[in-house]
Every structure is written in structure tokens, then in C-alpha cells.
Amino acid sequence: MSMEQIQAYYKIGLHRLEGWYQNPSSLSSALYLTGAAFVVTALFWRYSSIGTTTTDRTKTKKSHKQQQKMPTKTVPLSRESHIDSISTSFHHEYKPGLLQLVGNYDSENEKNCYDKRYYNEMLLKLLIELDGIDITVLPTDDKVQLKNRRKAVIKEIQHHLQLLDTLPRN
């Protein structure tokens, strides 16, 4: 629908509204038409170039540039590198803070209680990720090696979950 058609429709609606105003029985129809005119005006305002400012255009350009820089497709990790990335994530992101929490835990401190729940959730998330790595389709030698590597990482994470479980509840 072109802009001229919208404006013509809008003007016709206003002329009809003037006629309905004189007839009290058509007042409800006039209210419906007023609502429709409001919607058309809002749509007209929304999609016209008058409503956009230079800052809106700048933000739009920036967002398009950011979308172009981001890679569109991620490379899937191999099973071994996936296990290694989970292990690295555990060692760098969670283990230092978890050990500090275990060393200085106070069950009365609200932040400590929150951190305990946070680390518990994150370690369980890592265990679920490890559980999702399918090694059943691999040849026997690779399967045994990856199974042992995954098992070692799982045991280490479970050990730290047990440390969290030994902390007193509030």
C-alpha cells in the first residue's frame, strides 16, 4: 500500500466520521473509525522517515557493522577438544573461586550462600556437557582413551561438588 493510498483512505475516513457525528445512532461506528484512524496514523508515523533521528540511524549502522564482523558459523569441536575445553573452563573459571569459597565459607553470609549455589549449578552444567559427548561411535582405541579422559574430568568435578556439599547449610 503506497503512502498516497493511505492518505486517501485516511481522508475518506475523516469525511465519513463527520457524517456519523451528526447521527447519534452511529456513534459507536464513529468510535471504531477513530480508533482505526489512530492506528493508521501510528503506522504512518512509525514507518515514515520523519520519526527517525540521526542517532537512530547511527545505531542501526553500528549494529549492521557488528553483525557483519561476527562469524556466521561456528566450527564444531572434536570430542577430545570439547573435553579439554570443559576441563580448561573448570580450572580457570570455577576452581579458583570455589576453593576460595570453601576456605572462607560463612553460612551466615548471604553472598557465600549465593556463591555456593552458583558453583553447584555451574559444575552440574559442566557434568551435563561432559555427559553429552558421544563416544560410542568411535573405534575401540580412541573410545577407551576418550572415555578415560572424560572419566578423569568428571571425577575431578564431582570431587569439588562433594566439597561444596560438606559446607554447612544456612
Report d(CA 27, CA 102) in Å as an integer: 73
Q: How many CB atoms lie within 10 A of CB 147?
A: 14
Report d(CA 157, CA 167) in Å as an integer: 16
CA distances from 96 to 2, 31, 66, 99, 104 (A): 63, 66, 34, 5, 12
Percent of the chain predicted with pLDDT > 90: 45
pLDDT of residue 128: 96
Number of separate helices (H) and strands (E) present in the chain: 7, 0
Mean pLDDT (whole number) for 14-19: 64
* pLDDT tens-digit series, residues 55-93: 555 555 556 666 666 555 565 678 899 999 999 999 999
Which sequence spans correspond to the domains of the chain?
A: 3-69, 79-166
What are 100-103's contacts with CB under 8 Å, separation 24+? 101/167, 102/163, 102/164, 102/167
Overall pTM surpassing 0.75 (yes/no): no
* pLDDT tens-digit series, residues 99-111: 999 999 998 999 9
Average pLDDT, the chain: 80
- What CATH code is assigned to 79-166? 1.20.58
pLDDT of residue 41: 78
Report d(CA 133, CA 109) in Å as an integer: 37
Percent of the chain predicted with pLDDT > 70: 70
pLDDT of residue 72: 55
Mean pLDDT (whole number) for 140-162: 94
Report d(CA 87, CA 153) in Å as an integer: 6
Report d(CA 65, CA 33) in Å as an integer: 43
